Amino acid sequence: MKSNNPEISDPLFREAVAAIDAGDVSALEHLLAQHPRLVRDRLEYGEGYFRQPYLLWFVAENPIRQGRLPQNIVPVTRAILLAVEREAPDSLQAQIDCALGLVSSGRIAREHGVQRELIDVLCDAGADPEGALVPALAHREVAAAERLLAHGARLTLLAAVCTGRTAEIARLAPGASADERQAALAGAAFYGQAHHLDRLIDLGVDINAYSPPGFHPHGTALHHAVDSGSFDAVQALVQAGADLGRKDRIYQGTPLGWAEHLNRPEIAAYLRERAG
């Protein structure tokens, strides 16, 4: 089978990934039966969150390699899961938990209309929906987050804010810890929800803190409000005393710099005016 992944040095892994990309279940099942190491070993490939992936992780197309998934990616996934259950049960949990996070936080699965079904397959196999919830929320994959909640992920204050559950926010916010409130502040800013920002600010959060781990920790709430494109959210934070000069921890950009880079002219003009 022709491979579009020449950067994968292992020829068997390259052939297996090509079968995934082509949606060739028969070829994949044959390879897995003949070479069980394909579901036991981790591939010397990738970087960052996709460093040394298992074969299963390629079903998410996250990170994006070619921008598409075969229509039958769910049967492809089931074929790999059966092989993992048979040949590598000790690593099953780690494999499916990470695969679920990749599916839930990736746009390609959603754009191809298979994200929710892939979530179902992985959760039915025992993947932890709670572990994938923050990655989904941090990438604005709201439909995925809703599916994870349906599979039993705990409804946190962050999740309530990002999914717009106003009644649940009112219930959870008073008893939330300081860390939970900070996470919710980041979520409200990232989703441009000015009304929820006002409620959280009234609870005494640090509006100039960097966001918590797992939720774009390089920026502050004001950076994320700029990214959301919500003028009202930016205004709510600025009026509450957000630091206009604080720089993000990756690009060293101020909120104004982000507004200019992201082509938010109304927000940029407002921030310039407030900066004096």
Instruction: Report the largest interatomic distance among the alpha carbons of the chain, rounded to a whole angstrom.
Output: 69
CATH number at residue 57: 1.25.40
Residue that finishes a domain, picked among 154, 172, 207: 154
What is the CA 45 to chain-centroid distance, rounded? Answer: 21
Q: Are 124 and 21 contained in the same domain?
A: yes
Q: What's residue 276's pLDDT? A: 76
What is the end-to-end Cα distance of the chain in Å, rounded? Answer: 62
Residues comprising the chain, all counted: 276
Q: Are 191 and 209 contained in the same domain?
A: yes
Task: Look at residue 2 and tell me if it is in a domain.
Answer: no
Phi, psi of 210 (to 5 degrees): -70, 150
CA distance 127 to 146: 16
CA distance 236 to 254: 17
What is the CA 271 to chain-centroid distance, rounded? Answer: 29
Q: Are 134 and 169 contained in the same domain?
A: no
Phi, psi of 220 (to 5 degrees): -95, 175
Task: Look at residue 78 and tell me if it is in a domain.
Answer: yes
**pLDDT tens track, the chain, 276 positions:** 555 676 888 999 999 999 999 999 999 999 999 999 999 999 999 899 999 999 999 999 999 999 999 999 999 999 999 999 999 999 999 999 999 999 999 999 999 999 999 999 999 999 999 999 999 999 999 999 999 999 999 999 999 999 999 999 999 999 999 999 999 999 999 999 999 999 999 998 999 999 999 999 999 999 999 999 999 999 999 999 999 999 999 999 999 999 999 999 999 999 999 987
Task: Look at residue 145 and tell me if it is in a domain.
Answer: yes
C-alpha neighbours within 13 Å on the C-beta side of residue 141: 29
Q: Are 149 and 176 contained in the same domain?
A: no
Q: Are 103 and 198 contained in the same domain?
A: no
Task: Look at residue 3 and tell me if it is in a domain.
Answer: no
Q: Are 147 and 15 contained in the same domain?
A: yes
Q: What's residue 5's pLDDT? A: 72
Q: Decide if 45 contacts 8 (C-beta within 8 A).
A: yes
Q: Are 109 and 189 contained in the same domain?
A: no
Q: Are 117 and 228 contained in the same domain?
A: no
Residue that finishes a domain, picked among 154, 180, 203: 154
Q: Which two tokens stand for residue 162?
A: 């990002």
DSSP letter for 220, please. Answer: B
Residue that finishes a domain, picked among 154, 181, 215: 154
Q: Are 55 and 104 contained in the same domain?
A: yes
CATH number at residue 271: 1.25.40.20
Q: Are 106 and 119 contained in the same domain?
A: yes
Residue 107 CA: distances (Å) to CA of 66, 110, 220: 13, 5, 24
pLDDT in tens, 63-93: 999 999 999 999 999 999 999 999 999 999 9
CA distance 145 to 138: 10
Q: What's residue 6's pLDDT? A: 67
Domain count, the chain: 2
Q: What is the rounded radius of gyration, in angstroms, for the C-alpha atoms of the chain?
A: 21
CA distance 203 to 205: 6
Q: Are 138 and 221 contained in the same domain?
A: no
Looking up tokens 């297996």, which residue turns up?
A: 16
CA distance 218 to 192: 18
Quick one: which of 174, 178, 172, 166 has its CA closest to 154? 172
Task: Look at residue 6 and tell me if it is in a domain.
Answer: no
- Alpha helical stretches, state H, 106-230: 107-111, 115-124, 129-138, 142-150, 157-162, 166-172, 178-190, 194-202, 221-228
Task: Look at residue 203 and tell me if it is in a domain.
Answer: yes
Task: Look at residue 197 and tell me if it is in a domain.
Answer: yes
Task: Look at residue 1 and tell me if it is in a domain.
Answer: no
Q: Which residues form the domain of 183?
A: 159-275
Looking up tokens 């921008």, which residue turns up?
A: 67
Q: Are 105 and 150 contained in the same domain?
A: yes
